[in-house]
Structure formats: structure tokens, C-alpha cells
Amino acid sequence: MTVSDLVSAVKQYHITLTALEAAVTTHPLPQQVMDVLIARDEVYAARTAKTQTDKQSLMMVISLDERLKKQGELITKLVKLADWRAIVHPPAEAWWWFLEPPTNRWDKFDWLWSAGSVTLLTASLSLVVDISSRFLTGVPDTLGAFTITTQSVLTLLAAGGALTKTGQESIERLLSSLNIPKHFQNEVKFGFALLLFLCLFSFRFSLPKIATFYYNQGEQDYKANRLASAQSNYSRAIKLNPDDLKTHHRLGQLYERLQDFDRARTEYQIAVQGDFGKGYNNLARLYILDKKYPAAIALLKEAQLRTKDNQDKELQYGLLKNLGWARLEQKRYVDAENNLQEAINLTRDRAPAYCLIAQIRERQNDKKKAVLEWEKCLAYAIEYNPDEDGWISMAQQCLKVKQCLEIKKGDD
């Protein structure tokens, strides 16, 4: 090529670039970008082929290149140069085919926003796993299934969008369609990740309230004698809020009704570890049934110390009644009677203390007083209580046809 060829190429480069610059405020076309790049190719070819130096043309090229670089943001928004390069295969020296938008001052923090997004999404996945595992008790109910599905889908979509190339490209297209500038897109992604994490975090700490819902459902089932359903609801409540001692205690009572004493004992022990007063009482009763009287008494004494300021009469009655029962079995009748009389002073319309005092009188061979106590026992006893049901049988044997004393005297 001759110098005139270079001049002509530079002139065409100037014309096409000026046309592109003029179209910035209107609607520039991809064809105008292609014209500029091809014109720059012609300049490159002329400069490579010529043997003489044309200083004026060289200075013109330098000036035009500076102007072209300033249009980098416009060009990269208007066309995908990567797709064009795949067709044209320009040499590495053809920098105009490799234009990048100018670096925005916000872009220098992109690494921070990206790292923050990945961290939050990882934490969100951990929360989803934790929450899902709490709902997966037996067969998930409607609420549990909906919760697991919704949270898992949202988190996996967000994680897939941030951690996979295809997902990232999809999110970028979405954000571009919403007219969000490219230099703000990482910040927006971080915002979405933060919002998802905060929603999951808030939901995780609302689980105790959901646990209360399941506990109340369990209470309705328990009172309606739907024990299988009650067990399922209590178990769900505990999964959602393992620190709910009241539910542990209630589940222990349910296991007792099901004659599953080992599991009942486990639930009561958890309640005792959390210093739940009724847990002490029920666990001590199981020790009494197992004939572990010293263990029962130690537990009841500790419960009395820990609950001395507790005004719950039912609890205090239960502790005194069971303490009297354990002393009765140890044949410490005076101590037993003192404890049982204290219980009666708290509540006079409950059978257990009367039934146990009647047994003390029997063992002391005081038949007349035994009859009086058995009558009180029968007056207040409740058949569905397993302890009281057994004592009812004992009382009926003695008071049969009101002739307990006469029969005993005849035997004497």
C-alpha cells in the first residue's frame, strides 16, 4: 500500500467514527459500530504494509483511537464483541475488537459484593438445611411440606444464579432488562442475597412460635384421646423448639399412657435438666414404681428446694404426695404421714394423699382409721388415673358392703 492508501483509510476511519459519535444521543446502530471497526482494520492494514512514515496520518490515528476508546461503553452495550470476534478472528494486536467499558469507580468493590453474596447464599443454604430437618419429623404435614419446598426452591434458584455461569448470565440479562447499570449489578445481587438470608434468618427464629402452634394441636388431640396424632404434634413442636420443656414433659406423660416408660423417662429427664418442676415430680414417680426409693426422694427434695417460691398448688401437692409415697414404701410411716398431711392441707379434694394414708393405717393395723381414709380415697378418686385406679380396687376390697371392719374382726 502507498501513503495515499493510508490517508484514505484514516479519512474513512474519521468519517465512520464521527458518525457513531453523532448517533450517541439518538439511536446508534450495530452497523455503525461495524463500520468503525472495519475502518480501523483498514488503517491497521495500511500501517502494516507501508514502508514510509507519515507523521500527519500517524498523529491523526492516535487522536482517532483516543476518541474510539471513549466510545467503549457505548459499543459494549450496543453489541457483543465476543460474538463478533468468534466470526472475524482478529489478531491480538487489533485492540479495537477487544474494547471493554471504562472502569466505574464502583467496580473496584465488585469482589467484595461477590464474596458477600456467596457467603450469604452459603449461610442461607445452611439455614434451609437446618429448618428442613426440623420439619422432617415423620411424614411432613401441609405446612411443613410448603415451608420446605418454598425455601429450598428460592435458595437453590438464588445459589444457582450466583454460583453457575449460566445462572449469572441469566441474572445479568434480567437486571439489564430492568435498566440496572452494569456497575451496580453486583450490589443488587448482594442485596437479593441479603434479603433472602434475612428472611430465612427471621423464619428460623420464629420456629418457637410455630412450635407453640403444634403444641396446641397436640393438646387438643391429647384431650380428645387421639394419642397418635398428639404424639406426632408434640414431636414436631420439640423438633422446632428443642428447649420447650413443657412439651417434653407433656410428651413424657403421653408415653406413660402408652405404657412406654423408657421413652417417658427420657422426656422427663430432659425436663429435669431444664429445671422444669413437674418433670422432677413425674420422674420421681417412675422411680417409685421402679422401687428406686432413694433416687426418688433425692429428686423430690431437690425439686422442693428449687420450687420453694413456686405458688403452683398442683405441683407442690404432687411433690409432697410422691415424697409421702416413697417414705411409705421405705416404711418410714411418720415421715410419710407428715408429707401426705401437708399435701391434704394444700388441696382437700384430691384422692392420692388419702389413699396413701389409708395404706399407712393398714400397715399400722389401725383398721378403723383405714376405713375412714379409704372412704375419702373413693370419694375423690379418678378411674382414668392409673395410680388411683389401683387404689380404688384396694379401697373396694376393704370397704366391700361397708363390712371391712366386721370382716377383719371376724378374722381376728
What is the full DSSP assignment across 249-316?
HHHHHHHHHTT-HHHHHHHHHHHHHTT-HHHHHHHHHHHHHTT-HHHHHHHHHHHHHHTTT---HHHH
Residue from 307, 309, 248, 292 nearest 273 by CA: 248
More confident residue, 36 or 310: 36
* Per-residue pLDDT band at 409 (split at 50, 70, 90): very low
Residue 48 pLDDT class (50, 70, 90 cuts): confident
Range in 19-23, 46-50, 156-160 the model is least confident about: 156-160
Long-range contacts of 281-288 (CB under 8 A, 24+ apart): 281/315, 281/318, 281/319, 281/322, 282/249, 282/252, 282/253, 282/256, 284/319, 284/322, 284/326, 285/322, 285/325, 285/387, 286/256, 286/261, 287/326, 288/322, 288/325, 288/326, 288/329
Q: What is the pLDDT of residue 226?
A: 94
Task: Tell me how far apart the alpha carbons of residues 300 and 270 are, in angstroms, rounded to a whole number.
Answer: 16
What is the pLDDT, as a whole number, of residue 94?
93
pLDDT, residue 401, reads 45
pLDDT of residue 410: 41
For position 230, what pLDDT does the model report?
94
Please give the pLDDT value at position 406. Answer: 45
Query: If you average pLDDT over every residue of the chain, what do you get?
Result: 84
The arithmetic mean of pLDDT across residues 172-197, rounded, is: 70
pLDDT value of position 102: 63
pTM tops 0.75, yes or no? no
